[in-house]
Amino acid sequence: MSLSVHRLRCTGCGVRIDGAQVQSNFRCVECGDLFEVEYAWSEGAVWPEGLAERGTVYRPNPIALKHLWQERKSSTLAVDQSGVWRFRELLPIVREERVVTLREGDTPLYEMPRVANSLGLNWLLAKHQGMNPTGSFKDTGMTAALSVAVSRGFTWVACASTGNTSAAMAAYAARAGLRSLVLIPEGKIAWGKLSQSMDYGATTVQLKTDFDGCVKVLSEIVKRAPVYLLNSVNPYRLEGQKTPAFEILEQLEWQVPHHLIVPGGNLANSSALGKGFMEMKHLGFIKRVPKISVIQAEGANPLYRWLQNGGEGQLQPVKAETRASAIRIGNPASWKKAAKVLAETGGWVEQVSEREIALAKAEIGAEGIGCEPASAVTLAGLKKLVADGRVGQEETAVLLLTGHTLKDSEYTIHFHRGDLLTTEELAGQTAAERAAFSRLQREPLVLDADVDVVLRALEKEAGQPV
Ligand code: F0G
């Protein structure tokens, strides 16, 4: 099997093109929609005779692949140690020698016993994509798309970002010896992410606009300069980002969870995971797929609004505002792909408030796991799905945690100091919420350097002599 045999299929009009022919903005010339990667074995693939004759039509064999993918975990080869390229039979987009990897993927699937208990669920899991090399799920997509950039001979890559894509791109570009251009909204991304892009040597530009404004500027730049676009409109990103679906199945010994809960920003990740699960079903690895639900912040909720209004016609962009800065996105590029995943898997879209996000983030922290605010929307959304019975007690739900807690430590510190939320945001708080906030808030104590003083503080905390 060749490792670089694929085509691009337009998700709007269905036209198929060779990967190398795609426009620099990754939009279809015919209809302007986005592409997805298609292989000879993909569902509904239309595969040219010539390619089939050259032996490229290969039907993956689930039993053999499950075994091979496990075996690779003990290999010393870089491509085998990557939790993305370990599955390379299902993402043949570049030749093996062109792969740029930081050993991404293979992230933990944690149990969340305390949160499960408080929600009345038997079992709750969190797939922590924040445990990737640059601290977010973006690494799995970046290894894929940046490897394609290398094989297409680009020397410059670029992205507009709310911070995590840029951190990942800068790191992978540095590994590959490529130059990278980062466009970020000035003052609106977390410091940890900004520092990463500088540390990895990107040309970092803070534009006086929001994320959606950065996307607009970059879409013009890639038309005028030979710069390879690494935003999630690039369909190769999604090929890498589909692999956590394979990992979740492996980690659950091929038992399919009932629900996967994903944060929604530009809506590429939910699309990618949907593609991953649907490919697994199509190829016979599993018999059904989980319901994939997307959770948006109330202040950045265009998909939620679109569905509330009947889910027809075009999505109306919103002016986005949320402290979960990673998902402060008002005009999501991949909304049609995500809407299709929701429809095909039977999942829902929910919106959650700033207060609900803050509380959920602290609860995930108290499990000893932690995540960035955008990831915590998953738990806040799950609570709503449990409350009205859309997620049942016996069902298995997996939260997709997208970023590491250290990405946005400022948010965490404000939460614990009690000055994160405004009075308006706190208004309407239930008694249970108020109790949960005060139980979870851990403001640092400033004490004299005296043993007795510290022990007294400890006793106070424990509520009894220690
Ligand atoms: N969670 C985190 C931590 C993110 O960084 C993002 C997106 C999302 C969730 C949403 O994923 O866009 O695929 O729906 N961050 C992008 C960035 C946009 O530039 O880093 P999505």
Q: Give pLDDT tens digits for 103-161.
A: 999 999 999 999 999 999 999 999 999 999 999 999 999 999 999 999 999 999 999 99
The best mutation among 214, 327, 404 to test binding of ligand 1, ranked by most ligand atoms within 8 Å of the C-beta, falls on 327
pLDDT above 50 (res 1): no
Which atom of ligand 1 has the smallest separation from the CA of 165? 20
- b/e burial code for range 316-354 (CB count within 10 A of at least 16 → b): eebebebbbbbbbbbbbbbbbbbbbbbeebebbbbbbbb
Between CA 106 and CA 109 the distance in angstroms is: 9
- Helix, strand, coil percentages in the chain from 3-state DSSP, rounded to 5: 45, 15, 40
> What residues pair up with 128 in beta bridges, in sequence order?
401
Contacts with 185 (C-beta within 8 Å, 6 or more apart), sequence order: 162, 206, 207, 209, 210, 211, 213, 214, 328
What is the model's pLDDT at position 218? 98
Residue 266 Cα to ligand 1 middle (Å)? 6
Residue ranges around ligand 1 (CB below 6 Å): 136, 138, 161-165, 232, 263-269, 326-327, 372, 374-375, 402-403
Question: How far, in Å, is the centroid of ligand 1 from the Cα of 168?
Answer: 12
CA distance 117 to 254: 25
**pLDDT confidence of residue 47:** 81
Q: Tell me if residue 401 falls in helix, strand or coil.
A: strand
Give pLDDT, residue 301: 98
> How many CA atoms lie within 13 Å of 156's alpha carbon, on the beta-carbon side?
13
Each residue's pLDDT tens digit, 75-114: 999 999 999 999 999 999 999 999 999 999 999 999 999 9
Distance 279 CA to ligand 1 centre (A): 23
At 48, the pLDDT band (50, 70, 90 cuts) reads confident
What is the per-residue pLDDT for 56? 56
pLDDT in tens, 358-399: 999 999 999 999 999 999 999 999 999 999 999 999 999 999
Cα(396) to centroid(ligand 1), Å: 24
| Stated pTM of the model | 0.97
The DSSP output letter for 189 is: S
Q: What's the confidence (pLDDT) of residue 51?
A: 67
Q: How far is the CA of 138 from the centre of ligand 1 (A)?
A: 8
pLDDT tens across 11-22, in order?
A: 999 999 999 999
Length reported for the chain: 466
CA–CA gap between residue 244 and residue 129 (Å, rounded): 8
